Each structure stands twice: as C-alpha cells, then as structure tokens.
Chain A
Amino acid sequence: MKPAPFVRHAPKTLDEALKILAEVAPQDGRILAGGQSLVPVMAFRMARPAHLVDINEVAGLDKLAVEDGKLIVGARVRHATFHRPAAPGPLGALLAVVVRNIAHYPIRTRGTMCGSLANADPASEWCLTAATLGAQMVAKSASGERVIAADDFFEGIMSTALAEDELLAEVRLPLLPDGTKFGFNEFSRRAGDFAMSVALAVYEIKDGRIASPRLGVGGAEPHPRRIPEAEAALDGQAPGDMAFRAAAEAAAAAIDPLEDAQTDASYRRDLVRAVVRRALEASL
C-alpha cells in the first residue's frame, strides 16, 4: 500500500516541464497534477512510474480566463475552483452543478479538470462535460502544440489521443448563450462514488421549442459521447415529458453498454434511460 520508488522532477516553467517529459516519457515517466487518481493506483502498485513530472509548481498552468468566447482552464486548476461560477452565464452555472458530483470535497481541492480529462475514466464528469460541450484540448510537448477536438480526444477506457510526451496544458470550454438550458444527472451507489451512468443535457429554446440540443452520456460506454439519436428526438420539440421520454428511449437503445460483474447490458440501458430523462427534467 505504499508507492514504489520514483524520481520526482519539479519544474518551475512549462518549457522545463516539457523538456523533462520528453526525456522521461519513454522510461514510463508520467505527469503528476492533483494525484487523486494516480497516487491511489501507485499505492496499489498498479502503476509504478519510474519518473514523475510534478507540474504543481509550473508557472502559468493555473490560468483561468475567458478568451474569444471560451473559458480557458489551465492544467493546475482544481475541481474546487468550480464550486462557484468560474465563467459568465450558463457555463459557470453548469460547471458548478457538475463539480458537486466529482468525488468528495477534499479530493476536489487537489484534483484538476485537465488531469481528469487526461485520465479519461469512462465515468468522469468532466470528460462527459467536455464531450457534450465540444471542448478543445490543448496538448503541448517539447516539439510544439496542437489543439484536439473532444470528439477526437477520447479513444477508449482511460485512453486518449495524447502522446506520451504531451501535456494537456489547457482545456477550452465554449461559453453558452444566455438562456441556454441545462440539466445533469448521475447514478452511483454512494455519494461521491464512480458514476454507473451519467447524463448532461444542454439546449436552447427558440419559439418555445428545443434548439441546438446536446445530449451526452457517460459511464455507460468506454468513453462519454454525444448521442445523436437522442438529440434528434429533442430537436424542434416542445420541452416536456413526451420529448424527454423519447430522448431517453433513444439514448438507451443507441448505447453499446459496458458490462461488469454487477452491471449487465440491460441494467446499464435502464440506468441510461433513467439518467437521461432525469437530466432533461432537471433542465426545466
């Protein structure tokens, strides 16, 4: 239950961090941000990284700003930052609702949004949020920078498009227009536990009808994603029980459910049906 030995690097600048990462990544070097997922798996000896590049002292990675209609969240920004609205308009309110479902308070004071995205747990609330809103991931390495769309970022269970020498330096979340409706619902066995299914619904109202619907589901497949079949069931409909039930049915039918010892496919579909409908009901 104690982590295996490793060499810790504690760079102060991003350039220094990326240079060290380029050197140690081939020797199982990893980034250490909040450590709330990595340190437990190190304690279990499921991970035994030879090097850790601790980015907690890297200047500039605590950036939290609105630029060009997007909220920029740096790699050191902790979950707890979002307890209060961290962005103007509906986006700040949405993040404040979602964050309360992430583990527990003392985890949120250390864990980071970017760390959660890079870890890519299927049940991650931030991965669901990024996939649903169409976030952009800014990956930096010693050889440059690239921007990865959420649709291309998540590849599978705890698997992303990041190369081993790339740091997820920031995520960009689009601000939401005033009047945007949103709803979130998560099912887990205990408060703060991993989601067994989780849904986020975001839409606008035009002439009394749902417009530009985004409906994301997490915890049910290898990675969270938008469900086009459910969005089609909502688009142009009056917000209410009939449209919400149709979207929930469509989502339950559309997913390719993860199965485990406690959760067979039909149960997972039931959960998806329930969380989608509850998320939509919460949007009213």
Chain B
Amino acid sequence: MSKKQPITLNINNRDHKIEVEPRKTLVDAIRDDCGQTGTHIGCEHGICGACTVLVDGEPVRSCLMFAVQADGKTIRTVEGLANGDELHPMQKAFMDHHGLQCGFCTPGFLMLAVGVLEREPDISDEDLLDVLSSNLCRCTGYQNIIKAVRAAAAEMRGPR
C-alpha cells in the first residue's frame, strides 16, 4: 500500500541513505531518520515556520514537503550554518542582539533569514520585514530578531 522507498537526503553536504514511507514529511525524516534534530517541529501545518530549511537554496516549510520529494536535492539545516567553531554571522547577530529567548523558533528564523539574504542580499527593509513575518516567535516580540537580521544582512553584504 504505502511501502518504504530508498532515498538519499543530502543534508549539509552529507548523504543520508534512508528508507521512508511516501507520507513521511521532510522534517520528520531529517530528525528521525537522519538524526539532525536542530530543525524543530512546531505546528506541522505550515503556520509557524519552526521547521524552515533550505532546499536547493530556497527556504521551505519542511513539514509541507514529503521526504521523497527531496530525494537528491541539496538540503541545508541549522547544523550546517557554523563553520567549525565559528558561528555564522546570522547566529552571532542573534546572540549579540538578543534575538532569541527560549530558542525553539530560532533554527527556523536563522534558515529563513540566511536563505533569503543569500538569494537577495540587497533586499529592501520593507521586504525583509515581510519575510520575517513568515515565522512565529512567542518570546522576543520580534524587534530583536529584526535588529539581528538587519545587522547580519549588513555584515553578509560586506564592505562596499
């Protein structure tokens, strides 16, 4: 009926060969089958954004994609942001600007912001606010997240 299929998920440049039912969502496969638990599951219906990851460079809700649909695609999760011990500028900015409190939503916000800024480094401030409205945070009141992302955007763009 719904038998398991072999697929390969390439997460942060590492291949994970797994077998999943077609109904398994990408986020469940990333966490349960590949052991990458940095990506969080919130609402499981596309509202909260906690599970945001990058698939072929684009931010997506990994609860609204089936794992079999990501077979052979390039996936990036929060575990892939830091370079060894050196945090990604976005991670540093979230620390510096107190862009998190409990941290549950943070992996989703980090991947959302990094994904958008890599694709659109010169995104307008208005559009950036629209992007950040995608995800829910119950602690910070958002202002420090906005500050952090603006600061990281400036750093990611580099000196001009």
Contact = CB atoms under 8 A, between A and B. Distances in A.
A260 B47 CA distance: 21
A102 to B, nearest CB: 11
B68 A109 contact: no
A267 interface: no
Given A5-B21, A106-B134, A192-B134, A43 B61 contact: no
A35 B64 contact: yes
A156 B60 CA distance: 30
B22 A104 contact: no
Interface in A71-119: 80, 100, 104-107, 109-110
Contacts of B135: 104
Nearest to B52: A106
A39 B51 CA distance: 15
Nearest to B120: A83
Nearest to B24: A2
A6 B69 CA distance: 14
B134 A8 contact: no
A6 B116 CA distance: 33
A284 interface: no
A36 B131 contact: no
Contacts of B59: 105-106, 109
A56 B64 CA distance: 14
A20 to B, nearest CB: 14
B63 interface: yes
Contacts of B130: 100, 105, 191
A177 interface: no
B1 A7 contact: yes
Contacts of A105: 59, 112, 116, 130-131, 134
Interface string B47-60: 00100100000111
Contacts of A8: 22, 66, 68
A43 B1 contact: no
Interface string A188-203: 0001100000000000
B23 A5 contact: yes
B44 interface: yes
B140 interface: no
A44 B46 CA distance: 12
A119 to B, nearest CB: 14
Contacts of A42: 23
Interface in B55-110: 58-61, 63-66, 68-69
Interface string A1-28: 1111111101000000000000000000
A245 B130 CA distance: 30
Nearest to B111: A106
B157 interface: no
Nearest to A38: B64
Given A2-B23, A3-B23, A8-B68, A107 B46 contact: yes
Report, nearest first, the 9 A-B pairs whose CB atoms are least far apart.
A5-B2, A104-B134, A8-B22, A40-B45, A191-B133, A109-B58, A106-B59, A3-B23, A1-B44
Interface of A: 1-8, 10, 35-36, 39-40, 42-44, 52, 54, 56, 80, 100, 104-107, 109-110, 191-192
Interface of B: 1-2, 21-23, 25, 28, 44-46, 49, 52, 58-61, 63-66, 68-69, 112, 116, 130-131, 133-135
